[in-house]
Structure 1
Amino acid sequence: MRRLRARRRWVQAGDLELWQRSLGFAALGFLTLVPLLIVVSAADPASGRGFAQWLGDGLGVSVAAREDIERLFVLPGQTLRTTTAFGLAVLAVFGLSFGATVQSGYEKAWDLPPARWWARWRHVVWLAVLIGVLFLSAITPLWGASPIRGMITVLSGALFFWWSQRMLLGGRVPWGALLPGAVTTMAGLLGLRVFSRLVFSPLIASSAVAYGPIGTVLVIQSWLVGVGVVVFGGALAGRMLHEELPRVAHALRRRG
């Protein structure tokens, strides 16, 4: 009974912390990661898709909603012409704080102390891999109708989140304990994509008519909050599964 009460208090405190960190995730993602991805996606002249089309694919919204999103961003060629080295350096510096936010969320999920300052290099590696993965997904639309493409997307996403936890936590948690978190995170992102098509897609269209471009921005920001909830909530759920499944299996064996 004491263990159950402690678990409930831990979950309640974790829920509040989850929302706070998800809001920080959304703010940093929109202010730092989104500009970086705009530049990275514009660097592929062959596809000409740009960040707006990639974002529409990621949300899984309708064609009409994608057109509203595209009005928020400049064309890829114009992006490259207006980008400066100083702007990229500033974005990279602030982008590292995004990695620090994800790391602190993972540390909170596993009740680990903050990593030491010299471990900041992990943010650089993680951010570089994240941008590379998103760039590849932008030039190769794996969200297509092919079941094989969808399977590749799910497996690669689960591997990325599995590796992300290991990298940002500095190897303080075993690989086996991190696998449930990676699986639940990817499952949550798939559910969020279905939710986006059902809710965010018509909401973008109605908000664009009622409030103009700012309405579309608010919907995208809400989607980023949802992504933050899934990323941190997936890690938290993964820890709970890792700790509770052996107990459930042991109890079932004793009953059998």
Structure 2
Amino acid sequence: MAAGRLLSFGRLGSTLRRVRAGRRWVHVRDLDLWQRSLGFAALGFLTLVPLLIVVTAADARGGHGFAQWLADGLGVSPAAGAEIQRLFALPGQAWRTTTAFGLALLAVFGLSFGTTLQSGYERVWNLAPGRWWASWRHVLWLGVLVGVLYVSAISSPWRESPARGFVTVAIGTLFFWWSQRLLLGGRVPWSALLPGAVATMIGLLGLRIFSRLVFSPLIASNAVTYGPFGTVLVIQSWLVGIGVVVFGGALVGRLLHDELGRRTLPAEDPRPSPSAPVDPGR
């Protein structure tokens, strides 16, 4: 029994030393997770949110899909959801008042979203930056992202049956799996990217539970104290959390891939091969 405990502690110590040494693991500090998440949130609030408001304003229900989707994504209570609805009280006017130039400008700035995400994925996998002529991937990624969010906004899957929720999780996993493959230019195999996509979706589900417990009462209290600006602060904090989950999920996927790959490698035999030549100088 004592020998088994000593062996277990020895393995644990070996694992901790391997993690500290960084031989097979990527350091979180090398990813600059917090700084990238702040940039992700800033770009999301300045570019992606206005773009989605304009796109969902074309909904036949009067464009209320974005506010409903945002409330569902946060997982907030009905009272907090009402504050979000008031914040976007007249989204239907966005489609009539937005010019083609304004929409194009939002799309151009939205492309930096894909650039930021690609840079984070490349840091996770220790890859060189992609070539400038591969910017078409950002255009494709942004179009698919807006389409996925628009469908989720007009369908409100979280308020439907559990089957719809399962389909939403599956679509999200496929989207993040495909996003890594596309933005990395196919330099990482599909099998290595799957753990990151699964970890990202699990993190988003956990963030939704956290939002229900923390952000929902904050929206209600901040709306009384600071007015609509308080709701904006909570939404911005939620976007920072999404950035942490997106980049952190990819990092967890990399760590899992490296650990599984290490365990599947055959153990090296320290004994020399019988067919190996013998050094006469020994």
> Which range, TM-score by smaller chain?
over 0.9
Give the length in aligned residue pairs: 251
Q: Equivalent residue for 1:237?
A: 252
Matched, 1:207 2:214: no
Q: 1:111 to 1:212 in 2, by over 3 A?
A: same
Quick one: which of 65, 68, 71 aligns to 1:50?
65
Q: Equivalent residue for 1:13?
A: 29
Q: Answer whether contact 1:181 1:236 (CA < 8 A) is retained.
A: yes
What residue identity is the alignment partner of 2:250?
A
Q: Answer whether contact 2:204 2:242 (CA < 8 A) is retained.
A: yes
What residue identity is the alignment partner of 1:217?
V
Q: Name the TM-score, length of structure 1 as normaliser.
A: 0.93
Could you list the per-position Cα deviations for residues 126-165 of structure 1 after superposition, in whole angstroms to 9, with x for gaps in the alignment? 0000000001111112112511111101111000000000
Instruction: Tell me which stretches of 4 or more aligned residues in structure 1 moved more than 3 Å.
Output: 1-4, 248-252
Matched, 1:35 2:50: yes
Q: Answer whether contact 1:50 1:76 (CA < 8 A) is retained.
A: no
| Alpha-carbon distance in 1 for matches of 2:33, 2:67 | 28
Shift of 1:79: 1.4
What residue identity is the alignment partner of 2:233?
L
| Alpha-carbon distance in 2 for matches of 1:144, 1:104 | 35
Q: Name the TM-score, length of structure 2 as normaliser.
A: 0.84
RMSD (Å), alpha carbons = 1.9
Q: Answer whether contact 1:68 1:205 (CA < 8 A) is retained.
A: yes
Q: Answer whether contact 2:26 2:255 (CA < 8 A) is retained.
A: no
Q: 5+ residue gaps in structure 2?
A: 1-13, 268-282
Q: Answer whether contact 1:52 1:69 (CA < 8 A) is retained.
A: yes
| Alpha-carbon distance in 1 for matches of 2:28, 2:104 | 39
Which entry has the higher C-alpha Rg, 1 or 2? 2
Quick one: which of 18, 31, 39 aligns to 1:24?
39
Quick one: which of 176, 185, 189 aligns to 1:174?
189
What residue identity is the alignment partner of 2:182?
M
Give the stretch that moved more between structures: 81-90 or 65-74: 65-74
What residue identity is the alignment partner of 1:13?
R
Q: Equivalent residue for 1:99?
A: 114
More helix by share: 1
Q: Answer whether contact 2:37 2:243 (CA < 8 A) is retained.
A: yes
Matched, 1:217 2:232: yes
Shift of 1:243: 0.6
Q: 1:175 to 1:93 in 2, by over 3 A?
A: same
Matched, 1:68 2:68: no
% identical aligned pairs: 73
Q: 1:208 to 1:77 in 2, by over 3 A?
A: same
Shift of 1:125: 0.1
Q: Equivalent residue for 1:126?
A: 141
| Alpha-carbon distance in 1 for matches of 2:34, 2:126 | 17
| Alpha-carbon distance in 2 for matches of 1:228, 1:25 | 6
Quick one: which of 101, 107, 112 aligns to 1:86?
101
Shift of 1:109: 0.8
